[in-house]
Structures are given as C-alpha cells and as structure tokens.
C-alpha cells in the first residue's frame, strides 16, 4: 500500500477552501432542520425554525402549532440530530487522524480495537444484565466505553518495541486482539439464554441512535472536546507526519510522543461516540478520503471540513434509517455500509495504483 497520501488537488487556493467551509457551515443547520422535520409526524421545516426560535426566546412566541410538536422536536428529534452530528463529526476527524498517522488512506477510526473492544463491553453488559448508570450513560454505554479504551490501550502496549511503536506492529496487534474480542462477542451472543439479549447486542453492534437524548449528548461532550481539541491543535504536526518518520524527526517533530498523544486523543473521542451509537462503519473511512481528494491533504483545512461533511452525512443517513421502513428502524450501520461500500469500491478502482 502507498506509504503516503497524495492528492491531485493539493494546491487548492485559500479562497476556494474558505468558500467550501462556508458552504459546509450553511449546509449543516439546513440539513439538521430538514432531518428534524422528517418523520411520521411531519413538522414543516419553517415550523422547526419557529419552534427553535421560540425556545431560544424563552417560549414567548405565540404558539400556532399542535401541542405535540414541541415535545416531538425537543425531546425526540433534535437530541437525535445533535447526537448524530457529533458522532459523524468525530468519526470523520478520527478517520482523518488515523489516515495521516498510518500514512494509509484505508485506515479508519476502528483500526486499532475501538469497535471490537466496545462491542465486547456492550455484549458483556447485555449478557449479565448490568443495571447501573453514571453521568447520563447506562450500563451498556459505560461498558462499551470502557471496553473500547481498554482494548486500544492493550493494543498500543502490545505493539511497543524498544520504546517505539511501529505502525505495522500496531496494526497487526489490532487485528489479533480485535479477532479475540470479536470471538468473545460472538460467543456471548450465542450463549445468551434470552433471545432478547442476543437481538439487543446485535442491534447495538450494527449501530443506532434510537436511544438518543440530551443526557447522552452532554455525557460524551467533555471527551469530544478534549480528544478533538488535541487533534485540532496538532493539525500542522499531522501534515508533517505524512512524511516518513525520519523526515518528520529531522523537521523537529517528536514523532513517538506525537503519535502517542494523537492515538490517545482519537481513540478517546471515538470510544465516546461508539459508546452511545454502536459501531457505524465507513463514515470515518470515506469522508476524510473524499475531502482530501477534492481539496487536498492540508489538515488545517481537512479536519474542519471533514467534521462538517461527516456530521451532514450521518444526520442524513440516520434520517433514512428511521424513516425508510417507519415505524421500524434500519440499523444505522446498514445504511452507511450500503452507501459507503459501493463508493469505497469506486474509489479503489479509480486509485488502485496509489492504494496497492
């Protein structure tokens, strides 16, 4: 595979990038309003805007809508839209970070054990029917968060060789420990005596925002602020790390320290969102790849643009997941895979000389 990520459009002008960011900033609230309006109980987008303005104004605007609309909007749909935006944004930024760290366009946020550890933790909580909560998260979310962090930490320390963490060893350790965690998850699903437990675990693994609420969004926000803040602060370092490690070291980058810090930050943020959404594939793989292809590999632009595109993409995907077979819901991971996998194969076909 290619040792570096290149783009035919690396020379995009700052004005073009600013225009793209401005369009993204305008598109995000528009898509969020449309997603909040879309559902079995349809609320016109203009009414969504008026309801939000009324809420911001302290509820003083005269009500000209059914009494059920505020409850549907503020307690069901908006928390889901906000959480979907946070999850999509985080997965896209984490994907861009891993792709730069590993100098590989096929890297994604789950490469070093986050998804397998989270799945095992969530399945353990389901199997043993753990009933506790903390900080707005229930036992399944907390177990998934802990499992993701423990698996990632184990993989990182297993890959340490002589004070260094070679990328190849890190990936191989992730594959091996991920296989162990996945085997444990499958065993627990088959060993469950209650079919409901098995179905609950499988549904969680396939990804869903069905249980979204304001408490979950508030619970993961501190972890996202820390993790994504560290990544954003190191945008220039990520640019340098796209070179090989010897060149980056010669340019004054503390390579091992930067890799360790960025892996911790990306894994922390990813573990937080996976704990409330389950495993949602392809967003962290496709979105940064598309942004890089269109606007170049400069992470000072790539990270914020990936955040906007990732948020918009997941909000739209969740809208499809909850409405296409309403009142039943498709697992969110199914929607992102159905859209992302064909597009990913198209990218592979177009750029096979760079990837292989």
CA angle 150, 152, 154 (to 5 degrees): 65
The tens digit of pLDDT for each residue in 255-288 reads 888 888 999 999 999 999 999 999 998 899 899 9
Q: Answer whether residue 243 is part of any domain.
A: yes
Q: Answer whether residue 6 is part of any domain.
A: no
Q: Answer whether residue 320 is part of any domain.
A: yes
Question: 310: domain CATH number?
Answer: 1.10.3470.10
- φ and ψ at residue 161, rounded to 5 degrees: -130, 110
Q: Answer whether residue 44 is part of any domain.
A: no
Q: How far apart are CA 190 and CA 311, in angstroms?
A: 35
What's the token pair of residue 196? 């409901």
3-state SS assignment for residue 175: helix
> What pLDDT does 12 receive?
57
The tens digit of pLDDT for each residue in 177-203 reads 999 999 999 999 988 888 888 888 888
> What pLDDT does 63 receive?
60
Q: How far apart are CA 120 and CA 300, in angstroms?
A: 35
> What pLDDT does 355 receive?
42
Q: Answer whether residue 3 is part of any domain.
A: no
Domain that holds residue 292: 14-25+69-349
Q: Answer whether residue 54 is part of any domain.
A: no
Contact assessment for residue 153 and residue 219, using Cβ atoms and an 8 Å cutoff? no
Q: How many domains does the chain have?
A: 1
Q: Answer whether residue 32 is part of any domain.
A: no
Contact assessment for residue 209 and residue 81, using Cβ atoms and an 8 Å cutoff? no
The residue among 281, 279, 277, 276 whose CA lies nearest residue 336 is 281
Is the model's pLDDT at 218 over the cut of 90? yes
Q: Answer whether residue 93 is part of any domain.
A: yes
């Amino acid at each position: 595979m290619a040792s570096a990520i290149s783009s035919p459009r690396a020379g995009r002008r700052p004005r073009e990038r600013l225009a793209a960011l401005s369009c993204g900033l305008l598109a995000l609230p528009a898509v969020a309003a449309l997603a909040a309006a879309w559902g079995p109980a349809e609320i016109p987008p203009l009414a969504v805007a008026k309801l939000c303005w009324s809420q911001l104004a302290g509820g003083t605007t005269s009500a000209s809508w059914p009494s059920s609309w505020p409850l549907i909007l503020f307690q069901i749909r908006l928390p889901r839209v906000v959480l979907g935006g946070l999850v999509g944004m985080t997965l896209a930024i984490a994907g861009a970070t891993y792709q730069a760290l590993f100098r590989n366009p096929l890297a994604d946020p789950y490469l070093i054990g986050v998804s397998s550890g989270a799945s095992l933790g969530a399945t353990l909580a389901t199997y043993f029917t753990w009933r506790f909560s903390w900080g707005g998260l229930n036992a399944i979310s907390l177990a998934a968060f802990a499992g993701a962090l423990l698996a990632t930490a184990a993989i990182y320390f297993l890959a340490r060789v002589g004070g260094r963490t070679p990328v190849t060893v890190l990936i191989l350790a992730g594959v091996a420990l991920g296989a162990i965690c996945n085997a444990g998850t499958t065993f627990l699903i088959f060993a469950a005596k209650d079919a409901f437990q098995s179905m609950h675990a499988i549904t969680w693994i396939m990804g869903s925002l069905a249980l979204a609420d304001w408490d979950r969004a508030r619970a993961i926000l501190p972890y996202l602020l820390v993790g994504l803040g560290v990544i954003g602060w190191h945008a220039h370092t990520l640019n340098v790390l796209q070179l090989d490690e010897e060149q980056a070291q010669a340019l004054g980058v503390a390579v091992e320290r930067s890799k360790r810090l960025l892996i911790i930050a990306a894994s922390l943020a990813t573990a937080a969102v996976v704990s409330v959404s389950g495993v949602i594939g392809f967003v962290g793989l496709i979105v940064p790849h598309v942004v890089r292809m269109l606007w170049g590999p400069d992470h000072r632009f790539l990270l914020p643009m990936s955040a906007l595109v990732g948020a918009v993409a997941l909000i739209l995907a969740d809208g499809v997941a909850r409405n296409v077979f309403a009142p039943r819901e498709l697992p969110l991971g199914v929607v992102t895979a159905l859209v992302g996998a064909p597009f990913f194969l198209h990218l592979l076909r177009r750029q096979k000389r760079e990837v292989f």
